[in-house]
Amino acid sequence: MTPGSSSDRIHVLHQIVHKVASASSASAAVNLIVDEICATLAVQVCNLYGLDSNKNAVLVACHGLQPSAEVAFSVNKGLIGHVIRNCVTLNIDDAPAHPDFLEVPEIREKHLHSFCGVPLVRNGIVIGALAVQSSSATAFSGDDEAFLFTLACQLALLIPELEQLPQGKVRKNICIHGLKGAPGIGIGIPYFCDQLQLSSAPDGVCDDLEAGIAQWQKIRAATALAIENDQKKLRGQVGDDINSVFEAYKLLLQDQALNSKVELELSAGHWLPKALQLSISYFADLFRQMPDSYLQQRAEDILFLGNKLYEHLLGNQNQQASAGQWTEPVILVGRHVSVSDIATVPTQFLAGIISFEGSSLSHTAILASALGIPAIVGFATVPEIPAEERLIIDADHGQVIVHADATMHTEYKQLFDLQQAHQSELMQYRDLPARTVDGESINLFVNTGLLADISPGVKYGADGVGLYRTEIPFMVRDSFPSEKEQIEEYRKVFSAYTGKPIFMRTLDIGGDKPLPYFPIDNESNPVLGWRGIRFSLDNMQLMVTQLRAMIIASENSNNLHITLPMVISTGELDAFHHILRTVSGQLESEKIQFQKPKVGIMIETPAAISQLAFWRKKIDFASIGSNDLSQYVLAIDRNNTRVAARYDPVHPAIVHELIRITTISRSIDLPLSVCGELASDDTALPLLLGMGVRQFSVSAAKLLHTKQLIRSVNTKKLEMLVDSASRLDSADAIRALVGKFMESNIPDHS
């Protein structure tokens, strides 16, 4: 029966959307859709169609009919084809009489008269259609049509790539999209790291309470030992910030509240598997419901521990891992791939990571980047990953390729081999200067923020640290680090780059970088909210502590450069300098010798550009934060999958803003650098060089490639390239122009 009132319909819509979003697999999601719609609208038939690689309509899920074979037909035919090719809703009372009606023998639907079909549209592209049918010769009501249309709009954003789900034969070369966690290409057999789910533990009776408690304490100790061993496996490969994650696991395991809850459930008569399940679920649900975002995130750690405990209880740990019988590359796959899971696989056999949950700043992504392992995280829906076939993970483009045919495997294997060979070849540039063909010397620094990725920057010959993101050590902790802890952290950076410039950005949280233990709530638009220097000035005690730690850690050298994020006003600069004077006075009174650090700003907003000339006497340098600058100029959230395709850092508007920044900086003799992703973009870098930028900071993995490109160009020619690019009105045209220029002027460029 169609929901009656408007509030009823909204409630049912939310229920269906929630169930689909929570489905255990892609197949479960699409089957749930057709079942729920039939039940809600009290109709006989509901069909969900997707499009295959040839743009044929393919039946993906069906309720009420039993197809005798795979159903696929051209969208130039049939009522579904009409809906898809015209992107319109079709609601009619006599489907067989419609001129576009196509009788499909496999589903025998000629007895069905009423038909209502709506298109499924994602990012402006029709990806399929949803249709309900009935034997009644009466068109569906306006309310029914509106309900189906509204539901389709929401479901189109939730359901997986429909081409991977047609009934019948397996489709080849299916791309499943997620978020880029760590760059690279990997090929390997899937290794499911969370197959044992405590949530599926069966119930049973505890016949011997004392024995049950003893068994609980035994697996608790065994799990603690396993976590300790995992931590030891990665020791030396990662920094203290990642090791702190293991400490958090161990603290949770030692929590007396968890121990008491398990023993309580055992006393209630449940056997240990069920007692564990009830206890873990209790605490996970409790934490999820808390308003504090840090405590909400701890639910993931609790669930991970529950599964780990269950593994030890069953004595069913993966034999490959325990026996060390790794024979070929594997790709870790799981709903939440943990740091401990990563430690399970020897790094030489770890080809990639697929974590259905998480973000580009999750512990998983950070560690993957540090270890140089390609990773994809944060899938919109839980994809179905085949268990026994070789996967391709293309983290450079945020996609997993399943059911890859021989040609696809060959192409990616060649690409993988080329990347490996290219990286080896690039080592010849390590000790060569970053100097252009016409003799312009370029400072090439590294971006860092995780102790684990300091070493690669040194290995690849960085001239210093152009951007040290101090917020990352803050983000992987349980509380604000003390002054002593920060000093220890920063000293390791200065020690690694002795005698070289270190540009440390003050705490830049907020927006897409929240601190788990200091949630910033009630912000409808966090990217425009309490972030960067706004947060630090309002929490002056944090800035005082951080400045003291930075200056003390620099040990009286003149290498420290302090960079301020998100500055938009003179008042903010004046407030910072007042704090810096206060800190300097404290250190002088404490007889601590130090050099006054140079101070600069990140140019991340249009507001900062127009005020550079006014600020020249207050700053020693400026650095273009191209990621945020591009975001604010284009008014596009680059992390929002619905609009990310429209984000391009060489958009003409951004190119013109970059020209404006470099022109102003040159006129006031302000040292300028670029430290965002733009610095390693093969299209943007030649343009920036042509604009006069002579200092860049990139990730360690891209440092040698960037140096190679710098050593292959002539800046005089690039100045003319910038002039030509400034006359173009699209990012595609600019990329094509630069690409053609590089091919014709640098034959050996790769």
pLDDT tens digits for range 606-631: 999 999 999 999 999 999 998 889 98
What band does 749 get if pLDDT is binned at 50, 70 and 90?
A: very low
Residues 161/164/167/170 CA torsion (nearest 10 deg): 180
The single-letter DSSP state of residue 381 is S
Please tell me which residue, 174 or 514, carries the higher pLDDT value: 174
Q: Do 117 and 230 sit in the same domain of this protein?
A: no
In angstroms, the CA 523 to CA 526 distance is 5
3 CB-near residues (< 8 Å, 6+ apart):
9, 11, 12, 40, 147
Please tell me which residue, 354 or 7, carries the higher pLDDT value: 354
In angstroms, the CA 274 to CA 198 distance is 9
Q: Do 157 and 252 sit in the same domain of this protein?
A: no
Mean pLDDT of the chain: 84
Structural domain harbouring 126: 6-171
Q: Do 149 and 228 sit in the same domain of this protein?
A: no
pLDDT at 166: 47
pLDDT digits (tens, 9 = 90+) for 432-486: 999 999 999 999 999 887 655 577 788 888 999 999 988 877 765 667 889 998 9
Residue 129 lies in a domain: yes
Strand-pairing partners, residue 353, are 332, 375
- Of 171, 187, 214, at which residue does a domain stop? 171
pLDDT at 716: 94
E runs forming strands in 431-484: 443-448, 465-469
Tokens of residue 95, six digits = 């489907």
Q: Give the containing element (helix H, strand E) for 425.
A: helix 406-426
Cβ pair 113, 89 in contact under 8 A: no
Q: Do 130 and 245 sit in the same domain of this protein?
A: no
Q: What is the mean pLDDT of residues 362-381?
A: 75
Q: Do 156 and 253 sit in the same domain of this protein?
A: no
In angstroms, the CA 261 to CA 198 distance is 16
In angstroms, the CA 474 to CA 516 distance is 9
Total number of domains constituting the chain: 3
346 CB-near residues (< 8 Å, 6+ apart):
324, 326
Here the CATH number for the domain that contains residue 482 is 3.20.20.60
Residue 435 lies in a domain: no
Q: What is the mean pLDDT of residues 236-263?
A: 72
Exposure pattern of 64-103 as b/e (b: 16+ CB <10 Å)?
Answer: bbebeeebbbebebbbbbbbbbeeebbbbbebeeeebbbe
Residue 200 lies in a domain: no
Q: Do 166 and 211 sit in the same domain of this protein?
A: no
In angstroms, the CA 226 to CA 562 distance is 42
pTM: 0.68
pLDDT digits (tens, 9 = 90+) for 253-295: 887 888 888 999 899 888 898 899 898 888 888 777 765 444 5
pLDDT digits (tens, 9 = 90+) for 625-660: 988 899 899 998 766 656 766 888 899 999 999 999
Q: What is the mean pLDDT of residues 158-174?
A: 59
Q: Phi and psi for 44 in degrees, rounded to 5?
A: -80, -35
Q: What is the mean pLDDT of residues 3-9?
A: 60
Cβ pair 267, 209 in contact under 8 A: yes
pLDDT at 325: 58
Q: What share of the chain is helix, strand, coil (3-state, %, to 5)?
A: 50, 15, 35
Highest mean pLDDT among 37-51, 353-367, 608-622: 608-622
Cβ pair 604, 628 in contact under 8 A: yes
Residue 365 lies in a domain: no
What band does 362 get if pLDDT is binned at 50, 70 and 90?
A: low
Classify 168 in phi/psi space as left (phi over 0), alpha (psi -120 to 50) or beta. left
Cβ pair 692, 669 in contact under 8 A: no
Residue in the structure block whose two tokens are 């029966």:
1
Number of residues that this document lists for the chain: 750
What band does 323 get if pLDDT is binned at 50, 70 and 90?
A: very low
Cβ pair 498, 476 in contact under 8 A: no
Let me know the angle formed at the C-alpha of 72 by 67 and 73, rounded to the nearest 5 degrees.
Answer: 130
Low-confidence winner among 80-94, 150-164, 692-706 (lowest mean pLDDT): 150-164
Q: Do 158 and 249 sit in the same domain of this protein?
A: no
Quick one: angle between helices 142-155 and 6-21, nearest 10?
A: 30
Q: Do 135 and 63 sit in the same domain of this protein?
A: yes
pLDDT at 318: 44
Q: Do 586 and 538 sit in the same domain of this protein?
A: yes
Please tell me which residue, 26 or 34, carries the higher pLDDT value: 34
pLDDT higher than threshold 90 for residue 225? no
698: nearest Cα among 456, 430, 423, 466: 466
Please tell me which residue, 520 or 257, carries the higher pLDDT value: 257
